[in-house]
A and B are shown apart, each in its own frame.
Chain A
Amino acid sequence: MSEAILRTVNLTKKFGGLTATDNLSLNLPGGRLQAIIGPNGAGKTTLFNLISGLLKPDSGRVFFRDRDITGLRPHEISRLGIKRTMQIKSVFNQLSVTENLWITRQASQRVLHPFRPASRDAATRERVDQTLEQIGMTALAHRIAGTLSYGDIAMLEIGMALISDPQLLLLDEPICGMSPAETERAVAKIRELARRIDIIIIEHDMEVVFGIADDITVLAQGAVLVTGSPDEISNNERVREAYLGRPEDEDYLEEAVNA
């Protein structure tokens, strides 16, 4: 097993009386597609917010490849190569698809040139075209992002994460709201990416999770319930308990077992 790409030590975050992340210690090895699942309110998105710097933990630490990133600001963490997508899709709505990718690529530069026309940057243009092709959106290049379908926005968000050469990609429910065809395209893309990039994915669609994940971590009430391979997770009694009273999700689990 390779070294941990991401490690948390006794991570705690409280919102008033609610403990969203409860003394959480994770050790996610690199080179494997990691999935984080758990019932609603288990603290999955909070964990991503703590990793990417949008939230500061009350206590505990976060390590990215043995580098302590606790308390760094979002842009500093982003520049270390941790990129993420949001549960509620988040792009620059008034800008075109191309512009969204363009600014994302240029944002990784340390100094933004104040006077040179951005469009004169041939290397960036090439990279933008390449990424458009990669995410299959070349035909939509000049569309304003806010007018795209939900699935396309989600795909654009993945493209924005890709164009900046991430080392670790955090995907927060990437296929939520996608049509079956879009889901298929996105899942294929994620699988392909996972060969080159370390990915941690939060997903509610159990079929997808059990289909692509190498390791699954189940969170419940802000703490790790169990970690294991998809097989181990689907046969685990405690996971079933955590999802009990949620027949829909249980159905998914059974489907996955029988699949």
Chain B
Amino acid sequence: MIVFAAFLLTVPWTVPALINSFWVSVIAEILIWSLFAASANLLFGYVGLLSFGQALFFGFGMYGVGIGIDQLGLSFWPAFGLGIAASMAMALVAGVFAVRLTWHYFAIITVVFSLIFYFLAVSMKWLTGGDDGINFALPPTFSFGSTQWSFADPNFQYFFILATVAVCFYLMHLVIGSSLGKAFVAVRENDVRASLIGLNVYLVRLTAFVMAGFLAGVAGALFAFFGRYASASYMFYNISGEGLVWAIVGGAGTLLGPVVGTTLFIIIREVVSTHWEHHSLIVGVLAILAVILAPKGMVGLWRDALDRITASRADRSAPAKLRIES
């Protein structure tokens, strides 16, 4: 864990030295998409809602930034805020309808919302740039007098993304450990029992939905700054599906599962796609294997392995005690 953190903090120097500087931006992209996968994971892994709509909120985050800068002439922070606010507002509107439903009905309504706004975004050329999307020039993030920091500096860009993603994961960690987080899991496990102990299941689901909208919105806004553009193609529901696959393969219902899954798949994509155009085949096979062989994802496999190691050690040191228990 510490090694992992140390690595992330030194990426701008170690990675160019070890591989090349292209991978710094790949890692930045992995961080952003991890946050997106975390959004799908919050809903599926903790509240038990299979959402194919997270790309919608990612897209709203992107357009909030893109339209904010390009059309409204906002500077960095207001545009960032607009992106996040837009995605949370959209999540609230969609959630009011969607979380009344569960399972396949819920999944379908999230797809429907996604499609509606995808086609709206493509057709409203005056606002969204249609198929071409919006390209914009980046305003500086901080400026003190004549000194400016902006995403033009790759190191600043990397660290800004790292810090933002880290803060979001920390917030999610807090939420999961709180009584609200426990309520999420209670609703996932048994919604009838949850309502009988006095939880407002509808409100708990809606809260989670808006929180997930926040995570996806932050990811979308970061991605807009990172790519200097906003495009409807990221609002399509297949992007939501990818986020879900990353979260499930990495380990749904675990905090860092989405990071693991996203890292794995983006590295595969980057490495294989230069040699072979059908890299998504590998993704598909891995996803199927993970669902069949590791229902708790890679993080689940890792935990089971750790348990087995500690258990076999205990077995060797205290066989008599174990025999009594069994």
Which residues on A are within 8 Å of B, measured CB to CB?
A: 52-54, 73-75, 78-79, 83-84, 86, 90-95, 99, 102-104, 106-109, 112-119, 121, 160, 164
Contacts and interface: CB of A to CB of B under 8 A. Distances in A.
Interface residues of B, number: 26
B145 interface: no
Contact of B183 (A94, A112, A115): A112
Given A75-B198, A78-B196, A118-B177, A91 B190 contact: yes
B179 A93 contact: no
A118 B181 contact: yes
B200 A75 contact: yes
B178 A113 contact: yes
A94 B300 CA distance: 14
B190 A93 contact: yes
Contacts of A104: 197
A118 B179 contact: yes
B195 A78 contact: yes
Central interface residue in A75, A83, A109, A113, by most chain B CB within 10 Å: A75
Contacts of A86: 192-193, 196
A116 B182 CA distance: 12
B197 A107 contact: yes
A164 B178 contact: no
B189 A118 contact: no
Contacts of B207: 114
Contact of A109 (B177, B179, B194): B179
B178 A91 contact: no
A95 B195 contact: no
A78 B186 contact: no
Contacts of B197: 78, 83, 103-104, 107-108, 160, 164
Given A92-B190, A95-B189, A103 B182 contact: yes
Interface string B172-187: 0011011111110110
A84 B196 contact: yes
Contacts of A102: 182
A235 B174 CA distance: 61
Contacts of B198: 75, 78-79, 107-108, 164
Contact of B199 (A107, A118, A121): A107
B295 to A, nearest CB: 12
A121 B179 contact: yes
Contacts of B182: 99, 102-103, 106, 118
B201 interface: yes
Nearest to A84: B196
Nearest to A145: B189
Contact of B193 (A90, A108, A118): A90
Main secondary structure of the interface of B (DSSP, over half): helix
A121 B195 CA distance: 22
A53 B180 CA distance: 23
B183 A107 contact: yes
B179 A103 contact: yes
8 contacts: A53-B195, A73-B200, A75-B195, A75-B199, A90-B193, A93-B189, A103-B185, A114-B178
Contacts of B183: 103, 106-107, 112
Contact of A90 (B171, B179, B192): B192
Contacts of A75: 195-196, 198-201
Contacts of B204: 112
Given A75-B199, A114-B180, 15 more contacts: A53-B195, A74-B195, A75-B195, A75-B196, A86-B192, A90-B190, A102-B182, A103-B179, A107-B194, A109-B179, A113-B179, A114-B178, A114-B181, A115-B174, A117-B174
Nearest to B253: A94
A114 to B, nearest CB: 4
Contact of A112 (B174, B177, B179, B190): B179
Nearest to B185: A95
Nearest to A109: B179
Contacts of A114: 174-175, 178, 180-181, 207
Nearest to A163: B197
In order of increasing CB-CB distance, the 8 nearest A-B pairs are A74-B195, A78-B198, A92-B189, A112-B180, A106-B179, A103-B182, A114-B180, A115-B174
Contact of A92 (B171, B177, B193): B193
Contact of B196 (A52, A116, A117): A52
A111 to B, nearest CB: 9
A222 B189 CA distance: 32
Contacts of B175: 114-115
A117 B177 contact: yes
Contacts of B174: 114-117
Contacts of A107: 183, 186, 194, 197-199
B72 to A, nearest CB: 31
Contacts of B201: 75
B180 A113 contact: yes
Nearest to B194: A107
A53 B185 CA distance: 22
A106 B196 CA distance: 13
A130 B190 CA distance: 25
B189 A83 contact: no
A200 to B, nearest CB: 15
